[in-house]
Amino acid sequence: MNQEHQAVPTGGQPRIGEYRDDLHAETLEDIQIGEYGYKFRTLEGLMLPPYVTPSRYQVSRTIATRPDDVCYCSFPKSGSTWLANILYLILNDGVAAEDRTLRSCLHWMESSWTYPRGREEVETLPSPRIFKSHMPYRMALAGGPESSHCKYIYIARNPKDVCVSYFHFESGKAWSGKYHGPWEHWLRIFLEGQVQRGNWFDHVLSWWEHRQAKNLLFLRYEDLKRDFEGQLGLIARYLGRDLSDEVVARIKNATSFARMKTTPFSNHTQISDFEGFFRKGEIGSWKDQFTVAQSEEFDRHYRERMAGQSLRFAFE
């Protein structure tokens, strides 16, 4: 049996073992360790988790795509798993397969850990396929919307909530070198773009600039929270699907935070280290973490970086 698929009971699903350099990093020479043990590698100038390996990245850039493929992209902690579940259910009449998990229905080519399927296997899978990516536009799967027919969907979330969610997600995890910095440190490196996946502003704006491309749909987490059915309709139309009222109701129910957190199909319990994944699922939980001074400094930085941009976010 493959070392990362050990038989541990998780509702019938194989357990995905913790990230390990020796199993998932591919090369060790280029792994770097920053302050408080923060682990990363750099590819094309971008800080990345060590499980994004040079060869996986090459596969993700060159995988052959089809017009009915969907690739959802985001900066980490922006609601991408929520979107993934919505996409899967749109494409499957609102019904989750009983013998699978959401993770096993997705293809994350840039990652060697948790989604280890290779090019050959993915190329033989039937349509429609759902790809996941956390890359900025210039490093997008299959070259991005300009060179691939695949339908891209980018989801962005207000950066204060992303920063807090990411802090909790990265702290103490094997893939981050068991990062143990205090919140103040995390906030600083987040604003400096010295976290895995780089600078939030560069990432989001790189996709936003291309929002007019016909095979790119740009979404915001806060819109999904506030107008779920409107956004669901938008996504379904983009994918060329007509949803009955019954299927809409099914998807809405199955993708609520409470349901995703407790349903074996979506709750990620088969992945080691993902225990706190479904943390709060709210707009504005940053208020529990930021001091007033930190919030003001963040706002100054945000105003500078977003000056002249028509992109706006709801922070509460």
Written as one letter, the residue type at 122 is V
Enumerate residues 6+ apart whose C-beta is below 8 A from 273: 18, 19, 173, 174, 175
CA nearest to 115, candidates 270, 11, 259? 270
Check if the beta carbon of residue 141 is closer than 8 Å to that of residue 108. no
**Of the listed 134, 168, 203, 268, which one is catalytic?**
134
User: Which pair of structure tokens corresponds to residue 232?
Assistant: 């669901």
Q: Is 279 in the site for ligand A3P (CB under 6 A)?
A: yes
Q: How far is the CB of 123 from ligand A3P (least distance, A)?
A: 26
Query: Under rule CB under 6 A, which residues in 82-141 are in contact with ligand A3P?
Result: 82
Q: Is 252 in the site for ligand A3P (CB under 6 A)?
A: no
Give the total of residues touching ligand A3P (CB under 6 A): 19
Q: Is 79 in the site for ligand A3P (CB under 6 A)?
A: yes
Coil, helix or strand for 163? helix
Q: Is 69 in the site for ligand A3P (CB under 6 A)?
A: no
Q: How far is the CB of 137 from ligand A3P (least distance, A)?
A: 17
Is 81 exposed, middle or buried (CB count within 10 Å of its CB: 0-12, 13-18, 19+)?
buried
* Cis peptide bond prior to 128, omega within 30° of 0: yes
Check if the beta carbon of residue 175 is closer than 8 Å to that of residue 51. yes
Nearer to ligand A3P, 280 or 300 (CB): 280
What per-residue string of b and e applies to 198-235 under the rule 16 or more CB within 10 Å gives b? bbbbbbbbbbbebeeeebbbbbbbbbbbeebeebbeeb
Choose the stretch contacting ligand A3P; rule: CB under 6 A; options: 120-128, 277-285, 290-298, 306-314: 277-285
Q: How far is the CB of 308 from ligand A3P (least distance, A)?
A: 27
Active site residue 107: no
Coil, helix or strand for 307? coil
- Return the half-sphere exposure (C-beta side, CA atoms, 13 A cut-off) of residue 198: 20
Q: Is 15 in the site for ligand A3P (CB under 6 A)?
A: no
Choose the stretch contacting ligand A3P; rule: CB under 6 A; options: 14-22, 24-32, 72-80, 205-213: 72-80
Q: How far is the CB of 301 from ligand A3P (least distance, A)?
A: 20
Choose the stretch contacting ligand A3P; rule: CB under 6 A; options: 19-27, 183-191, 251-259, 297-305: 251-259
Nearer to ligand A3P, 50 or 76 (CB): 76
Q: How far is the CB of 257 from ligand A3P (least distance, A)?
A: 4
What per-residue string of b and e applies to 280-314 under the rule 16 or more CB within 10 Å gives b? ebebebbeebbeeebeeebeeebeebbeeeeeebe
Q: Choose, by CB under 6 A, the member of 278, 295, 301, 314 that binds ligand A3P.
A: 278
Enumerate residues 6+ apart whose C-beta is below 8 A from 287: 316
Choose the stretch contacting ligand A3P; rule: CB under 6 A; options: 42-50, 145-153, 210-218, 256-264: 256-264
Separation of alpha carbons 46 and 33, rounded Å: 15
Q: Choose, by CB under 6 A, the member of 185, 281, 297, 305 that binds ligand A3P.
A: 281
Binding mask 154-193 for ligand A3P (x = CB under 6 A): -------x---x----------------------------
Choose the stretch contacting ligand A3P; rule: CB under 6 A; options: 64-72, 77-85, 184-192, 297-305: 77-85
By annotation, the residues acting in catalysis are 134
Q: Given the rule CB under 6 A, which residues bind ligand A3P?
A: 74, 76-82, 161, 165, 255-257, 260, 278-281, 285
